[in-house]
Amino acid sequence: MSDSYTVTDPSGNSVELPKVQGTLGPPAVDVRKLYASTGGFTFDPGFTSTCSCESGITYIDGNEGVLLYRGYRADELAKKSNFIEVCYLLLNGELPTKAEYDEFESAIRMHTMINESLKRFFTGFHYDAHPMAMLSSIVGGMSAFYHDTTNTSDPEHRTIFARRMIAKIPTIAAAAYKYSVGQPLVYPSNDLDYCSNFLRMMFAVPAEEYAVDPVAAEALDVLFILHADHEQNASTSTVRLAGSTGCNPYAAMASGISALWGPAHGGANEAVLNMLNQIGSVDNIDQYIAKAKDKSDPFRLMGFGHRVYKNFDPRATVIREHCHKVLKAYGGDSDGKLELAMRLEEIALKDEYFVEKKLYPNVDFYSGIIYKALGIPTNMFTPMFAIGRTVGWVAHYLEMVSDPGMRIGRPRQIYTGADERAYTDIGSR
C-alpha cells in the first residue's frame, strides 16, 4: 500500500502528497504543501472531510458507534469511573493512581469559589438573561481576574488554569441560575463532591437545610462523563482556533461556550424539550416526522442526526438507560415526555428517510429528560452541557498550546465577489 497520494491538477501536473495515518481511524492526505506545489486550495465547507489537527485525546468511530477517551470506552467509564477521574484521564492521558486521584480531587474541591468581584457581573444582566449569555460573559471575564497564570508555555500555569476552569464552571453556572430566579447565590462547600456541590449551589436556599439526593448526584456524574469530550466538534474547534492566536485561555473557553450554545450543537438539548412540548402528544408524531422530512419546512427533529455518528450515539444509549432510573426515583414519567421521546425514536428509526440518511438519536435527545426530572429548567440544559464539556475544551487547548509546532489557524476561501473595479463618485452612480 502506498504512503502517498498522487494529485493531478487540471493542467495535468501531478504532485505526490504524503499519507497521514493515526493509531485508529481513516488515513488522511497531508495537503500542507498543496498550495505551494499546485497553486490550488482544498475546498471543504463544514469540514466534512478535513482533519484540523492530530490529537491523542478522544477517538470516535461513527460507523460503529464507539467513543474512546484516551483509549477507554466512554460508556464503560460512565459505568465504572467518576467525572473527576475522567477529567484527570482526559488531561493527563492515563488513569490516576489513588494518590494522584486524591491530590487532583482535592485541588478541584478547594478551588470552586469565584472572585467576589465576579459576582457583580451577574447584576449587570436583566433577570431573564439566558444563562448561556451569562456563562460566556463571566468566563470571558475570568480573563480579567486570572491574568497571573496565562503563560501557557509554563506547565505550572497550564495546570492552574485547567484546575481553576474545571473547579469554577459549576459555581458560575449555578450562580447564573440563582440570579435568573432571584435567589441568593450559594457558595460552594468543600465538604461535598463535585456533583453534590453543584446540586446544592443550584437548589439550596438560606431558609432551610438542603440534602443532596445521591440518585441525582450519580445521574449528573454520568451525564458529565458522557459530555466530557468529543474530539473536534464545533465548540472544541472554536476553542482551538481562538487559542491558536495566543489569547487569554479563559477568553478561549468563552469562545467555546458561545459556539456550544447553538441549537445545531449543544443547544439541541434545550431544543429537544421545546420540540417535545411542541409535539405534545404521541398522536402528533407522524405530523412532525413529515415536517422534519419536508425540505421546505425548517423544522428538524432535534436530538437526531450527527456529523460523525452514522449509528447509535453510544452516549444516547447510556443516557436513555439512566432516564428510566432517574424517573423511577422521581415519580415516573408523569408528563409523558420520556414515553413521547421513546415513541418518537421508535417511529423515526423505522422511517426510510431517517434510515437512509442514518439519522439516530444523539447525546442531546434524552439528556434533557433527566435534567427536567432533577428540577433543572430547560434554559439551564446547555449550561449543563458546558459544565461537562469544559474539561474537553481545556484538554484540547492544552494539547494544542503544548505543541511547539502550534501555528495560528487561518483557513483560506474561494472568493466569489466582484472583480477589481475603480471607485466612482456618488454623483455618477
Q: Mind telling me the catalytic residues?
A: 306, 364
In the list 51, 301, 323, 394, the residue contacting ligand SDX (rule: CB under 6 A) is 301
Q: State yes or no: residue 290 binds ligand SDX (CB under 6 A).
A: no
In angstroms, what is the minimal distance from the CB of 88 to ligand SDX? Answer: 20
Q: What is the 3-state secondary structure (H, E, C) of the chain?
A: CCCEEEEECCCCCEEEEEEECCCCCCCEECCCCHHHHHCCCCCCHHHCCCCCCCCCCEEEECCCCEEEECCEEHHHHHHHCCHHHHHHHHHHCCCCCHHHHHHHHHHHHCCCCCCHHHHHHHHCCCCCCCHHHHHHHHHHHHHHCCCCCCCCCCHHHHHHHHHHHHHHHHHHHHHHHHHHCCCCCCCCCCCCCHHHHHHHHHHCECCECCCCCHHHHHHHHHHHHHHCCCCCCHHHHHHHHHHCCCCCHHHHHHHHHHHHCCCCCCCHHHHHHHHHHHHCCHHHHHHHHHHHHCCCCCCCCCCECCCCCCCCCHHHHHHHHHHHHHHHHCCCCCCCHHHHHHHHHHHHCCCHHHHHCCCCECHHHHHHHHHHHCCCCHHHHHHHHHHHHHHHHHHHHHHHHCCCCCCCCCCCCCCCCCCCCCCCCHHHC
Site pattern 17..56 for ligand SDX (x: CB under 6 A): -----------------------------x----------
In angstroms, what is the minimal distance from the CB of 361 to ligand SDX? Answer: 9
In angstroms, what is the minimal distance from the CB of 35 to ligand SDX? Answer: 26
In the list 73, 265, 291, 325, the residue contacting ligand SDX (rule: CB under 6 A) is 265
Phi, psi at 60, each rounded to 5°: -120, 130
Position with the least CB separation from ligand SDX: 305
Which residue, 173 or 292, has its beta carbon nearer to ligand SDX?
Answer: 292
In angstroms, what is the minimal distance from the CB of 46 to ligand SDX? Answer: 6
Asked if 239 and 396 touch (Cβ cutoff 8 Å), the reply is yes
Phi, psi at 374, each rounded to 5°: -85, 0
In angstroms, what is the minimal distance from the CB of 212 to ligand SDX? Answer: 27
| Span from 105-113, 153-161, 265-273, 400-408 in contact with ligand SDX (CB under 6 A) | 265-273
In angstroms, what is the minimal distance from the CB of 136 to ligand SDX? Answer: 16
| Span from 4-12, 134-142, 199-207, 361-369 in contact with ligand SDX (CB under 6 A) | 361-369
Q: State yes or no: residue 357 binds ligand SDX (CB under 6 A).
A: yes
Which residue, 22 or 246, has its beta carbon nearer to ligand SDX?
Answer: 22
In the list 96, 303, 383, 388, the residue contacting ligand SDX (rule: CB under 6 A) is 303
| Span from 26-34, 50-58, 246-254, 306-314 in contact with ligand SDX (CB under 6 A) | 306-314
Joined grid coordinates for residue 385: 452541557
Site pattern 218..257 for ligand SDX (x: CB under 6 A): ------------x--x------------------------
| Residue 204: half-sphere exposure toward Cβ, Cα within 13 Å | 19
In angstroms, what is the minimal distance from the CB of 183 to ligand SDX? Answer: 30
Q: State yes or no: residue 355 binds ligand SDX (CB under 6 A).
A: no
Sheet holding 28-29, edge to edge: 4-8, 14-20, 28-29
In the list 243, 305, 368, 383, the residue contacting ligand SDX (rule: CB under 6 A) is 305
Q: State yes or no: residue 364 binds ligand SDX (CB under 6 A).
A: yes
Q: State yes or no: residue 306 binds ligand SDX (CB under 6 A).
A: yes
In angstroms, what is the minimal distance from the CB of 45 to ligand SDX? Answer: 10
Q: Which of residues 83-112 bind ligand SDX (CB under 6 A)?
A: none
* Residue at 90: amino acid letter: L
| Span from 87-95, 108-116, 245-253, 264-272 in contact with ligand SDX (CB under 6 A) | 264-272
Q: State yes or no: residue 363 binds ligand SDX (CB under 6 A).
A: yes
Q: Considering CB under 6 A, how many residues would be counted as binding ligand SDX?
A: 22
Q: Footprint of ligand SDX on this chain (CB under 6 A)?
A: 46, 230, 233, 264-266, 268, 292, 300-308, 357, 359, 362-364
